[in-house]
Structure 1
Amino acid sequence: MLLRVRDRVERLCAAATEATALRRDVLDALRRVVGFDAYAFVLTDPETEVGVQPLAELPVPSDIPKVIRAKYQSTVNRWTGLGPPATLTGPSPWRDLLSRYGVSDVLSACFRDQFGCWAFLDLWRRGGTFAAADVESVASISAPVTRALRRCQAATFGSAAPARRVDPVVLLLNAELHVVGQTAATAAYLRTLVPPPEGAAPIPASAYNVAAQLLANEAGVDRHPPMGRVHLADGVWLAVRAGRIDQDTIAVSIEQASPGERVGIFARAFGFTARETDLLERLAVGADTRELARTMHLSEHTVQDHLKSVFAKTSVRTRRALLARALGT
């Protein structure tokens, strides 16, 4: 059974081109061998590790802000510190909250490699606990799913600059993460990021996540910044940030990611080394080969070798094409 699910998921991962479809397919495969009653499979910003694009089926639609807030406040199996997949152990506010909905166990996994954290997964079970075989099944697919998620994110950086610009929007949330105000264009963004069921209002899940991270910062639970970058559509990347206005109000801004903000995601998605990332950042501000060699303390020949490696990883042939993809300009 373990070999079958792993082989099936590896085939799905090899064919995957888009992260939402991949997550749905992986959940389908897991459901055949691991019984679960609900799930949250959340894409994260690989650098800040904040959730930005959830795929979820939860029995608590009216309490989603409360569940997300409790998840971020908990240190039990928090994806930012999670190693291999694990089930619930020890007391936590998140566990206490889930028990009110009849959830008896949660199997958590983080999809992480040397380039960052790409997603986390929570499988909920009612009336029983996950067995060691369930944990092993999820662990067996971690590596191929991580590689495929990173490849899908790389694929969002098209060969040409995005054809459109998008205007910034703002949501205002109260201390319980309920929306108390928003700008006019916000709903259109939210429908694209997390498409709701036909006829339903969009759920601002990305906003809930960054706001919950702000609260986690303030509580001393986690130091990652309350910010995440997420692909909207057609090569457009957004930056979602949370900041406190006053004791009772959190502002969440959603705006097109700057060229500098795109570079970090781009380099991680394509698997750049630290030296290659440094080179790309310097190229982005206009450095030529001589300047790169001088400031990076390399020979011009070594700079060219690094460029060849970057070109091979990104399937481009020129610096102009590289920067168009990375910066979106």
Structure 2
Amino acid sequence: MARLSMEDASVRIRQLARAGLNAHAFFEVAGETVARAVPIGGAPPFWNTVDPSSQLITSIHFSGECFFDLGGQLEWEYFADDVNKTADVIANRRGVQTLHEVTGANPERSAVFREYLRPHGIDQEVAVALRAKTGEAWGTLRLNRSPGQPEFSADELAFLHSLAPHLAEGVRRALLLGEAVEPDWPDAPGLVVFGDGLSVESVSAEANRWLGELTGDLGGISAAVLSVAAQAGNPDGRAPVRLRADTGRWFELHSTSMATPAGHRAGVIIQPATRARISTVLMAAYGLTRREREITRLVLMGRSTTMIADELVIAPVTVQQHLKSIFAKTGVRSRRDLVCTVFVDHYAARVRDNEKRRVAARRERGGPIAPLPSRQVSTNDEPFCDQR
């Protein structure tokens, strides 16, 4: 594989992030691009996507055969006592860490290194958090090297750190498109596809609904949507546009490129700017109060009691009291059990569904599986998702 300069690889990744690819296609091409600038060995790039509101895994991607099956990977991530997991690298403020670094240059301390990596010719591993410029984590990337290859250098780690926001953008767009094309939530994003001259070619049912709120009695396509569509495919295009409808609801508009049988088209994703869907799941499944949902979400993201207390401006003892109630309602005894329970109940099915979608070349979707209608709480209760 021909080498690629870090500068050229960075330009290429920025272009790919806005190309409208599905998650697996994006990871395939982006992984090859990264590997041409940062040599790897022993295994191809390995990717996870996560729900930014809970940081729980929503899909797993790799090329070729993997020595972990899907169940084994999830078992290691959520039940094994080890280091350098997805949650660990996301919690790292720098967003980049090597196995040698977290084990004090003694990777034998890691069970997965002893039992899987080394037997398969892997001597080093670096993990990168795919963190957007706005701070949300959308996944992780892992690169490996074989015995005899040099350690990942400071320049290479800095380069990977610089790529993370662009890789995160590619993931975010891919998952938004997946939800817009095949929605499974009542507040799913909508998609408007434009042809030559910004003529409208198709409007999804959800997009039609959101356009109705944005344009009111005027109907048609708003100037804001057309302006965003004009940015599709531009690697230096502006950030998502936020605007408020007359109903008071806030929306985000995202531009993207769409590959269709008729050629490339401009697409605009219209998304209600509502809070994390994990709150909906937690309320519907366990009957948690608003404060308990807030605390559970922060526990899922690895926050300590002190950090939760500081973020919510409450006393640590109050956090502990809420945790006792949360544990009782969810039937667990510890924070770790809580994370495992929420993942198994609401995210494992998403990972397996996305694996089927990957094999069938269909677009993946993010977030937890939507609760069954029969499990929804009364509409007289407080809202599931609060507006920002």
Structure 1-normalised TM-score? 0.50
Mark the structure with the bigger radius of gyration.
Answer: 2
Structure 2-normalised TM-score? 0.43
